[in-house]
Structure 1
């Protein structure tokens, strides 16, 4: 009987991890299709940015609602609805003939992701308890990590053979298959769900949705200039709405968000720690491709391979999680993970000071390995530490609240890294160009400056590329140092909040 129960749980774990894997493949596969979409639909750079950003904006906006519904309707039922949204979005994307329809498709996919991730974590917290929960969270983390390198590979192959619509066709078929295997293998367990009001607090939903959307939109615009009106005004209004939402929802008889969970120091410590994991990962993925492909003159495939140390180290760190936790506990592992992230950031930034190209790239690889170990070991330890403290009847709300922090980390990772990197690059390019007797005006990015360099004579073209490369490397040093400082401050906050918790 025990063996049969164990086999059923293992099948459930495989199915839930499969959902996480294909969703991460979907997230990263789409980015490689952007040039093909731009050529097919004639999209501008701003339109491409919003096609990508719409996914993250809607994701952040629906997470808490997903937890609310999951704790009342059932976590498995809610997760299947989220997977169904991916199928619907795939059909819309497959038929999209213009940018607005494509935006609708990606927004629906963002809603699906905002449901599937917290419900998957909630189901793991219900199905697995004690030491088995750590094993389950480790498998979940590895599945998500594997989706990062497989996404561009699958997306590139589909785009090259079938065009960008091939990605949507692939998504539709795969997500239908995932729904089928989950229906056949994951037990319909909803925890100790009590009779709770299904009345949706629409006022909270509206304030939360508007607040996150405006703040996220401001951060997207801040990548060009944080002082621009379309950057700081939406962010300020978003902060006001988010604050109003928290105050209103906290005093509501039918809250959308279970803020009471933050009273537990272990849960409260994990929230900012998990935010830093996504902050780091998305920041690195946002900044490094231009360095690896444009500055170092590699194609997209080689550039992707040069990011593999981060992915491999993440998988190794996740596999080492149980061993590390058994020696220093979840709290110690979480703090160690943040320390590794900060060290990795400083190492990558410091690598730009080397004048020797081989030393520079070797040091970047070491920095990726350090950051990857932190990402891999930290995620399952933090999720286990937090999820183990959540009552089963609040599993959906707890997972959603943690996912909100993680998604917020993704948004500010791109926004902060992008803003600092852009500002430092433009300033550095201007100073270096003036000292070399070149025009001091940058085109706005290292990729565009490299493209414009082709319009000049060979000598001038080489000087522009060298100037752009040095400016970008210098900007990496500044932006990664700033990121390391933010992580160190968060590490101190986590250590302070959790100082009285057990291991």
Structure 2
């Protein structure tokens, strides 16, 4: 999965009146950054441990896919519900509950004696992350005002980038030094610190009594679960059995029922269909799904290829991904300023196309060759391209819908990004099931597919967004 999802709101383009920072501003930031770092790190650290977990728990191809997707599935399906629950019951309360749930689930992951129990614990982690992620940002939005809010969100986003960058090498080191179970145990002290600080220093905040969309959440989870199961079965068995076709059909039916229910719930829906009256919003949703699907597949498959095909240690595989995180973290701030001047259309067109060129460079990957000439060039080009897309994406999403739907649109776009990674991981079994020369060949085919998806997402941005410097798009409702 991608650890650079479009969660953070855009940098402000208008001058704010000076607003004092709230009391205990530093502690509020610490609580939200510690809580969100759990999801950021876990989203990147597990990939380098997949071969070790597979050997220890006798996990086959489908089992390895589900180690990632058991976490992504509830996270994708419940992100919007997590944000709505914070608005309804109180953001601090839901943040604490989500963080505690994540800590308990992490302990269960660390002691899981079998793959099914590990997958159940990973799903529980995903539920906890879906509760804590939107509310860590929601707390900042309610506690800080004016310029101090922009600084707080910028600090929060920077901490997320650092956590994501640290995740793969930290996970690789822990797997090599103490075993894969240690990557889950490190979550516990971080979660306890976040809970203690939030309980002591964060004031409760809520927005009203809008009912939660429980039917929508259940249908979204069932639909994504059935589709993911079907695609995982398809890719791991290299063919479409009657079970696969039945699952795909049932998943599509559940998606249709979900859309019907959301239409009936109108303003109380977790996904208000009125947002889709905006052509740019539809285009940005497709862009996000394709681009982050391509990226999510890479972040699962490349470490696996290097460890299994190139005899990299988990630490070396984690370090191989580090330049990607560092380039995005360093360049995203510059792209945020550039987007303010020229608007998001060109960055969202050029960035994904450059990302696609990076995927094409990975067609040259030979896990037995030098990392510096085989892997690094493609990784750097992908990072540069993604840096051009990460910062402008949320700006474009929020400006493509009216003010009533900005929060929901941002959360929905983040959920779509994770769903793209979910589907990509479900299809990755066709690569993971291979070995030797066939593994490298399958990875190269996946790189070509990822390049195609990334290039298509850039074209979608060009044809669905207006060339407006402020980022407001034609067709916004």
Alpha carbons 2:283, 2:461 under 8 Å: kept: no
Q: For structure 2, which runs of at least 5 residues remain unmatched after alignment?
A: 1-17
Deviation at 1:56, TM superposition (A): 1.3
| Structure 1: gaps of 5 or more residues | 423-442, 451-464
1 or 2 for the larger relative contact order (CA 8 Å, sep ≥6)? 2
- CA distance in 1 between counterparts of 2:453 and 2:420 reads 12
Q: 1:35 to 1:242 in 2, by over 3 A?
A: same
- Counterpart check, 1:500 vs 2:474: yes
Residue range with higher mean Cα deviation, 226-235 or 303-312: 226-235
From 53, 77, 82, the equivalent of 1:66 is: 82
Deviation of 1:214 (Å): 0.8
Shift in alpha-carbon separation, 1:143–1:135, aligned structure 2, 3 A: same
1:233 maps to what in 2? Answer: 246
Give the Å deviation of 1:137.
4.9
Which of 405, 410, 417 is residue 416 of structure 2 equivalent to? 405
Q: CA deviation at 1:213?
A: 0.8
Pair member with larger Rg: 1
Q: Which residue of 1 aligns with 2:259?
A: 246
Counterparts of 1:273 and 1:140, CA distance in 2: 25
Other structure's SS at 2:21 match: helix
CA contact (8 A) 1:122 1:396 kept: no
Equivalent position SS for 1:217: helix
Match in the other structure for 2:121: 105
Go from structure 1 to structure 2 and tell me whether the alpha carbon gap of 1:270 and 1:187 turns closer, same or farther (over 3 Å shift): farther
Hey, what does 1:371 align to over in structure 2? Answer: 382
Contact 2:176 2:314 in 1 (8 A): no
Q: Which moved more, 1:161-170 or 1:264-273?
A: 264-273
**Structure 1 pair 139–113 and aligned structure 2 pair: CA distance change class (3 A):** same
Cα pair 2:283 2:460 within 8 Å, conserved: no
Offset, 1:313 = 1.4
Counterpart of 2:445 in structure 1 is 475
TM-superposed deviation, 1:100 = 2.8
Query: CA shift at 1:177, angstroms?
Result: 0.9
Instruction: Work out the CA distance in 2 between the residues paired with 1:351 and 1:38.
Output: 25
Q: Structure 1 219/344 Cα, relative in aligned 2: closer, same or farther at 3 Å?
A: same
User: Counterpart of 2:394?
Assistant: 383
8 Å contact from structure 1 (residues 345, 484) kept in 2? yes
TM-score, normalised on structure 2? 0.80
- The alpha carbon displacement at 1:243 in A equals 1.9
Q: Distance in 2 between matches of 1:123 and 1:267?
A: 26
RMSD: 3.8
Listed as ranges, the matches of 1:44-443 within 5 Å are 44-127=60-143, 136-190=152-206, 193-196=207-210, 198=211, 200-224=212-236, 225=238, 227-252=240-265, 254-263=268-277, 270-293=284-307, 298-329=312-343, 331-332=344-345, 335-350=346-361, 352=363, 362=373, 365-387=376-398, 397-415=408-426, 418=428, 422=431
1:454 aligns with none
Tell me, what secondary structure is at the counterpart of 1:252? helix
Counterparts of 1:63 and 1:347, CA distance in 2: 30
Matched, 1:484 2:454: yes
